[in-house]
Structure 1
Amino acid sequence: MAMRSKAIRLSLICSAAVFVIVALITLVAVLVFDRLFLSILYKQLAILPGSTVFESWSAPSVPVYFSVYLFNLTNEAELLKGAAPRLQEVGPFVYRENREKFDIVFSDEIPEDFGFQASNFYHFVPEMSVASRNWAKLHSKLFTAGLLEKRSPFFFLNGPFVTLSPYDAMWNHHPLVIQTINVGLFASQNGTKPVQYKIHTGLDDISKVGSIIEVNGQKKLSVWDHEEANMINGSDGSNAPPGLEIGSTIQFYVNDICRSVVSYAVAKTQAINRPDIELLVFSGTPPDPRDPANDWRERMFCKSGYGCPPKGLLALSPCLAATGENVPLYLSQPYFLGADPRIVQAFDQFPDPIPERHSTWIHIEPETGDMLYA
């Protein structure tokens, strides 16, 4: 009996040992496989000549649409008598965006970086828009107010307000206020000013894939007073690095506003029509608004002679001045989301922003860094 009990014990011990060994082998195999899989995947994600990634990067097949909502001033007479401005939203005016990259030159046979030029072209999509781009005229005080505040010498063409079509407001070099200034809100973006980039391929370090080395031959800007504000960080927005997770941060350099912006991975979601694919939600709003670093990220873009814009606004004037366009403009999230509440209070009956609708976000596949929705 004792011999039988001892044999059973020995059998159980051997079985347990075999189980532990098999479990360890399985665990090691899984870890090795995961590392091997990620290593192979990351090599495929480098932007190299002839690769699938290069083809999709240089000529994206997925259509990108650009929607514009404009605000029409509806109480010109009352405003001249001291009333608060009343605005009416008009839109969307939808454009298909074609991102063209050309003059692509790789540095070596096995390149670590390469240069190219990029231009964006926009084509109006009437079937997705509220009306024709030459539809009802818009009344705007946008440029006249800015010039009045700057006390620039000028004379009005048609009184203190301008009347123009959505097309003229967005794209046309239309004489808005004075005969010496011709400007459209997005005129410089519609293929008229190619930007020259030099970026990393990601061959040696996949975390740097697509990150910018130079813009128009410069490794940093000379627009702002602070060195950190003049740094060129991140990609041009065509891609993000792989291996992302909740808490990750990524940066994009936006040439039209002369600055790099930070985006934060704050949540997870499922891909549209593919609930089996999990995506990360990146937001331009910091997860902790009380973080003192957020205040510095805004203050470092204050520039002597221009001051600091109100909270939630980005001053575009220093960037425009660097290209010879002296127009006072500011950028904000839709409906001034996250901005100083006094801005909204300065308007008559201006609707409150809705974070779910008006926040800026990007959906990214975390393992590959592919941007799927924005």
Structure 2
Amino acid sequence: MAIKRPKVAIGFIVAGVLMVVFGTIMCFVVPLVIDDQIVKNTVIDPKNDLTYTMWKDIPVPFFMSVYFFNVLNPAEILKGEKPMVEQRGPYVYRKQCQKENITFHPNGTVSYREYRQYHFEPSMSAGNESDVVTIPNMLVLGASVMMENLPYVLRLMMSATFKTFKEGAFLTKPVGELMWGYDSGLVDFLNQYLPGMIPTSGKFGLFSEFNNSNTGLFTVFTGKDDIRKVHRVDSWNGLTELPYWRTAQSNMINGTAGQMWPPFMTKESTLPFYSPDACRSMELVYQRPGEMYGIPLYRYVAPKTLFANGTDYAPNEGFCPCRQSGLLNVSTCRHNSPVFISHPHFFNADPVLLDYVQGLNPSEEKHGLFIDIHPQTGVPLNVSIRLQLNLYMKKVSGITETGKISDVVMPMIWFEENGYIDGPIVNTFHTNLVVLPTVLEYLQYILIGLGLATIIVAAVVYHKVKAAQKEPVKGSHGLETKKKSISTSD
């Protein structure tokens, strides 16, 4: 039995060495295996059940919250006084998106149209669609600015047309009609005699183009040939560059379609995406790390230069003619209507804009946009895109409906599109991307630690056994000498 003990100790030493070696190998192999699985599952491929379903149908809850700037002093504004507004809302709509006409191409791209529908959610809203609010009349004030440089006679004729259809500088209507459209004799008249002047041939509403519509024909890379290109837009409506802006850089279609990004992001990475509603590409920048449901994330926000004018930020010169920083002039893609996009309440804009309108109170917490993204996969966990629609209005000679209105960029509404992963998707995400890698990471360290402990203990046991084997030999020799001594004395 004593002979076997050293062999057992040696066996444990070998086992310990194997555990250390296996644990060390895991330190290098496990991250590679996880990254390889991420790459395989991130590719846009119907075989990838979870990620393909998320990409195709966006199963997570997504909502649009709309806030109206109710005008409190329309009569005074027509006399040249400063506008006063109060925020009304939110009026919340559940947004449903679904990609259709999905076609895969041999060059590693896929084309689709994404259709969207909005359904009012009374329980989440601060009012009903029947609520009545007053906002600037885009048909009158927008058309007036558009006709400012036309012959005086034409402006008089347009003013007479407004009077014929009883259209004034401000509208007082229910929220539902302002959102999704109302019947207008003026719209019918303009479509008949000035086709193309306004973007609708039916009811006129701020979001009439949004509901039951699609965002255009997108062609994006699947990532099959190069995972760094996954979700990146190859073309939109057949275009590889836009026709709206003044420079090639401004007309570039950059980044993704704004729903997912390539995996393996770092703090130096940015989030570029193309927005058909804003008629341009935009880019968010890293702000801070965070965590959601135990899942690590990076928060990306809009840089202050996003809507800066060409004077404050030279690369934005292509988006001009500009006004104050904080305003994006989208008239070139909105039938030349004097419409501007900004952050809500003119957040991150030139402070002078706040001086022109009473009732605004910007803050980053309420009005800054952000995307929380899981950097390892490029999948957004929490999204809040907040934008404001503004109308440039002023007195136009010959059009009496404009009264003595002072030049002002007037906020009309702002809206927030937000969504976050929830339910079974969170559990799957947490299990596959947090729990499993953590278990494997701990396992490799446990193997290394256990292996080292086994080696040390087995080595100590081995030496003790060897020492114990030598001691009995010495003891038996002493006993034999003692016996011989006793025999001699006898």
Report the TM-score, using the length of structure 2 for normalisation. 0.64
Greater Rg by CA: 2
Q: Residue 187 of structure 1 aligns with which residue?
A: 208
Q: Which one is further off, 157-166 or 308-317?
A: 157-166
Report the counterpart of residue 134 of structure 2 in structure 1.
Answer: 138
Matched, 1:329 2:339: yes
Q: Note the alpha carbon deviations across 1:35-74, whole angstroms, 9 max, x for none.
A: 2321221111111123222122111211101101011111
Cα contact 2:254–2:273 (8 A) shared by 1: yes
Matches within 5 A, 1:1-374: 29-52=26-49, 53-108=51-106, 112-151=108-147, 153=155, 154-155=158-159, 156=162, 157-172=166-181, 174-175=183-184, 179-180=189-190, 181=198, 183-193=204-214, 195-271=216-292, 274=293, 276-285=294-303, 295-302=313-320, 307-321=321-335, 326-348=336-358, 350-374=359-383
Secondary structure of 1:310 counterpart = coil
Give the AA of the match of 2:69: F
CA distance, structure 2, for counterparts of residue 24 and residue 193 of structure 1: 56
CA distance in 2, matches of 1:287, 1:78: 35
Matched position secondary structure for 2:251:
coil
Conservation of the 8 A alpha-carbon contact between 1:257 and 1:316? yes
- Mapped partners of 2:185, 2:60: distance in 1: 36
Distance 1:242 1:40, change over 3 A: same
Name structure 2 gaps, 5 residues minimum.
1-12, 149-154, 191-197, 384-490
> More displaced, 251-260 or 134-143?
134-143
Distance 2:120 2:61 in 1: 13
| 3-state SS, counterpart of residue 213 of structure 2 | coil
Q: Deviations over 1:125-167 (max 9, x none)?
A: 1111112112224242555433333335433333222222222
Q: Can you give the 5+ residue segments of structure 1 that lack an aligned partner in the other structure?
A: 1-14
How far, CA to CA, are the matches of 1:199 and 1:158 in structure 2?
44
- How far 1:210 moved relative to its partner? 0.9
Aligned AA (2:167): N
Matched letter for residue 179 of structure 2: M
| CA distance in structure 2 between the partners assigned to 1:287 and 1:87 by the alignment | 27
1:6 maps to none
Distance in 1 (alpha carbons) for counterparts of 2:347 and 2:139 = 22
CA 1:347–1:287: 2 relative to 1, 3 Å: closer
**Is the Cα–Cα contact under 8 Å of residues 312 and 325 in structure 2 kept in the other structure?**
no
3-state SS of paired residue (2:116):
strand
**Residue 26 of structure 1: how far off its partner (Å):** 5.4
Q: How far apart, CA to CA, are the structure 2 residues paired with 1:176 and 1:40?
A: 59
**Cα offset for 1:245?**
2.5
Distance 1:289 1:260 in 2: 12
> Structure 1 residues 270 and 218 mapped into 2: Cα distance closer, same or farther (>3 Å)?
same
Q: Is the 8 A contact 1:200 1:213 kept in 2?
A: yes
- Per mean C-alpha deviation after superposition, the further-off stretch among 159-168 and 53-62 is 159-168
Deviation at 1:244, TM superposition (A): 1.6
Shift of residue 28, structure 1, vs aligned partner: 5.7
Q: Secondary structure at the match of 1:170?
A: helix
- 8 Å CA contact 1:143, 1:176 repeated in 2: no
Deviation at 1:222, TM superposition (A): 1.4
Assess, with a 3 A threshold, how the Cα gap between structure 1 residues 98 and 30 changes in structure 2: closer, same or farther: same
Looking at secondary structure, tell me which structure has more helix per residue: 2
**SS class of match (1:356):** helix
CA gap 1:39/1:342 in 2 versus in 1, 3 angstroms: same
Counterpart-to-counterpart distance in 1, 2:142 and 2:307: 30
Count of residue pairs brought into register by the alignment? 342
Which residue in 1 is equivalent to 2:464?
A: none
Whole-Å separation in 2 of the counterparts to 1:338 and 1:176: 39
C-alpha distance in 2 between matches for 1:163 and 1:79: 15
Following superposition, the deviation at residue 266 of structure 1 comes to 1.0
Farther off after superposition, 161-170 or 83-92 = 161-170
Distance in 2 between residues matched to 1:357 and 1:194, nearest whole Å = 27
Aligned to 1:196, the other structure's residue is in SS state strand
CA offsets, 1:157-179, max 9 Å, x none?
A: 33222222222222216549764
